[in-house]
């Protein structure tokens, strides 16, 4: 295994596996566990704690350099389960002391890794921050939405200069027809360079579109999402949406009041047998879902009756656009569905609203963009309920919806 591949991250596990410690530590723990089982006596030898924490830090880093409180507690719980003699006598759960020790050990371990130039921790060194952000806890660049490969190292034998040459070749190759395999390989090879630009330089969307035109192809957005999270974007999104559709429709139909009436009007589209399809059903469910969450469809989906809206498009921060196709004669004619971010039309011709939603979610990951504040619950559902990414922490509104779907 190469040095760079060994630094690739893995998704945080459901059950954390405690690593093997040194021979001496393992011997001490084996004897102490036996004494604990017989007499209930805890181990009081502090000299093995450093070895335990070092091995834990190394193991934790294979998942993330910045473990959350929940992550650290899961490690502490797994440690006590494997070695009950290590229980913390100062807490009822026996893990609080270990959680704190892991927290401080990971901070020291990140400092150690910065000395080796490891990118996903070096980016947060004070000297690499702009003057306004030179505080250790300010604007920390770390995975926040279950990104597994948030800031990966360059491939073995490559550096910024060599990968920049590949990027230049990629721009040329992306203009050719029937060249998907070459583009795919070069996009994969330049993934680390792209992430370094996005995370460290925060370029505009327009600049990214100029430098990385291939990134704005739906197939490459799906590939980038999988590289970043290890999750298949469109298949998982559509599968979850279809799986939840029957229950969601029941919830929508049961809603009363003004909201119930708005949902009823949207669901009337399902009664049009001429245009009924799985794509239409998905669109109706997504439109209703946005309203059900207390947000507005118009904040996500912008519909235009003509194509003479360039000035209005330029004002959009993040939206799915629905415009008539050239030559369209009626309101029921096929529409052109696209995505606009920071006033730039980045994608067109997506075909249906559900696909546009999944691709837009993918773009927020690919470009490290924040979710729109007016649609925070909608995107939380997309991420945490549909794709089950970082789904252990839900807002009260989304937790309520999840509970109803599982009832």
- So what's the pLDDT on residue 323? 87
Cβ neighbours of 148 (radius 10 Å): 20
- So what's the pLDDT on residue 1? 35
Q: Which is nearest to 220 in space by CA: 365, 106, 377?
A: 365
Q: Which is nearest to 343 in space by CA: 181, 204, 150, 246?
A: 204
Regarding beta strands 318-324 and 301-303, do their DSSP bridges make them parallel or antiparallel, or are they unpaired? Answer: parallel
Q: Strand runs (DSSP E) across 200-326, as ranges? A: 301-303, 318-324
- So what's the pLDDT on residue 271? 79
Helix, strand, or coil here: 21?
coil
Maximum C-alpha span of the chain = 85
Residue for token pair 């330049």: 190
Q: Which long-range contacts (CB under 8 A, 24 or more apart) does 47-51 make?
A: 48/21, 48/24, 49/101, 51/21, 51/22, 51/24, 51/25
> Where do the H-state alpha helices sit in 66-95?
69-82
User: How long is the chain?
Assistant: 407
- So what's the pLDDT on residue 196? 93
CA–CA separation, 44 and 280 (whole Å): 65
CA–CA separation, 329 and 177 (whole Å): 32
Backbone φ and ψ of 83, nearest 5°: -135, 80
Q: Which is nearest to 320 in space by CA: 293, 295, 349?
A: 349
- So what's the pLDDT on residue 46? 73
- So what's the pLDDT on residue 324? 82
What lies within 8 Å, CB to CB, of 368 at 6+ separation is 198, 199, 202
**177-214 b/e (C-beta count within 10 Å ≥ 16 → b):** eeeeeebeebbebbbbbbbbbbbeeeeebeebbebbeb
What lies within 8 Å, CB to CB, of 233 at 6+ separation is 221, 222, 225, 226, 358, 359, 361, 362, 387
- So what's the pLDDT on residue 122? 80
- So what's the pLDDT on residue 308? 60
Domain spans, the chain: 3-133, 160-229, 233-406
Helix, strand, or coil here: 394?
coil
Cα angle 318-337-339, degrees, rounded to a multiple of 5: 20
Half-sphere exposure in the Cβ direction for 71 (13 Å, CA): 21
> How far from each other are the two terminal CA atoms of the chain, in whole angstroms?
46
Query: What is the residue-level pLDDT of the chain in tens, covering all 407 positions?
Result: 333 444 567 888 989 999 999 999 999 999 999 999 999 999 987 789 999 999 999 999 999 989 999 999 999 999 999 999 999 887 777 889 999 999 999 999 998 988 888 888 887 765 554 444 545 555 678 888 999 999 898 998 999 999 999 999 999 999 998 899 999 999 999 999 999 999 989 999 999 999 999 999 999 999 999 999 999 999 999 999 999 999 999 999 999 999 999 999 999 988 765 556 899 999 999 999 999 999 999 999 998 876 566 677 888 999 999 988 766 555 566 789 999 999 999 999 998 999 999 999 999 999 999 999 999 999 999 999 999 999 988 999 999 999 999 98
Half-sphere exposure in the Cβ direction for 225 (13 Å, CA): 26
Helix, strand, or coil here: 249?
helix
- So what's the pLDDT on residue 11? 86
- So what's the pLDDT on residue 10? 84
Note whether 280 and 270 are within 8 A (CB). yes
Query: Crossing angle for the helix pair 23-39 and 49-61, nearest 10 degrees?
Result: 110
């Amino acid at each position: 295994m190469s040095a760079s591949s060994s630094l690739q991250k893995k998704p945080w596990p459901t059950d954390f596996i405690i690593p093997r410690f040194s021979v001496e530590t393992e011997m001490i723990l084996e004897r102490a566990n036996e004494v604990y089982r017989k007499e209930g006596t805890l181990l009081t030898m502090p000299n093995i704690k450093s070895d335990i924490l070092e091995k834990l830090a190394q193991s934790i880093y294979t998942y993330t350099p910045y473990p959350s409180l929940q992550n650290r507690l899961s490690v502490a719980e797994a440690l006590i389960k494997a070695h009950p003699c290590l229980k913390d006598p100062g807490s009822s759960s026996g893990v609080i002391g270990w959680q704190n020790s892991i927290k401080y050990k990971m901070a020291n371990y990140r400092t150690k890794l910065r000395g080796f130039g490891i990118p996903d921790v070096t980016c947060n060194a004070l000297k690499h921050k702009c003057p306004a952000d030179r505080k250790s806890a300010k604007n920390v660049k770390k995975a926040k939405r279950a990104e597994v490969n948030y800031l990966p190292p360059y491939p073995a034998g490559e550096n910024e200069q060599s990968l920049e040459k590949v990027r230049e070749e990629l721009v040329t190759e992306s203009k050719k027809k029937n060249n998907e395999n070459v583009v795919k390989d070069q996009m994969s090879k330049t993934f680390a360079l792209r992430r370094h630009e996005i995370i460290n330089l925060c370029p505009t969307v327009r600049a990214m579109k100029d430098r990385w035109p291939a990134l704005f192809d739906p197939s490459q957005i799906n590939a980038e999402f999988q590289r970043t999270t290890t999750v298949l974007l469109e298949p998982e999104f559509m599968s979850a949406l279809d799986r939840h559709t029957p229950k969601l429709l029941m919830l929508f139909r049961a809603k009363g009041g003004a909201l119930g009436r708005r949902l009823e009007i949207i669901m009337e589209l399902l009664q049009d047998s001429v245009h009924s399809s799985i794509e239409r059903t998905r669109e109706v469910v997504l439109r209703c879902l946005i309203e059900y969450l207390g947000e507005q469809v118009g904040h996500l989906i912008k519909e235009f009756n003509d194509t003479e809206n360039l000035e209005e498009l330029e004002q959009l921060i993040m939206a799915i656009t629905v415009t008539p196709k050239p030559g369209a004669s009626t309101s029921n004619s096929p529409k052109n569905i696209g995505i606009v971010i920071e006033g730039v039309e980045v994608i067109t011709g997506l075909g249906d609203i559900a696909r546009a939603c999944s691709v837009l979610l993918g773009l927020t990951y690919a470009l490290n963009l924040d979710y729109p504040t007016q649609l925070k619950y909608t995107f939380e559902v997309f991420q945490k309920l549909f794709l089950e990414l970082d789904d252990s922490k839900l807002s009260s509104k989304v937790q309520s919806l999840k509970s109803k779907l599982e009832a």
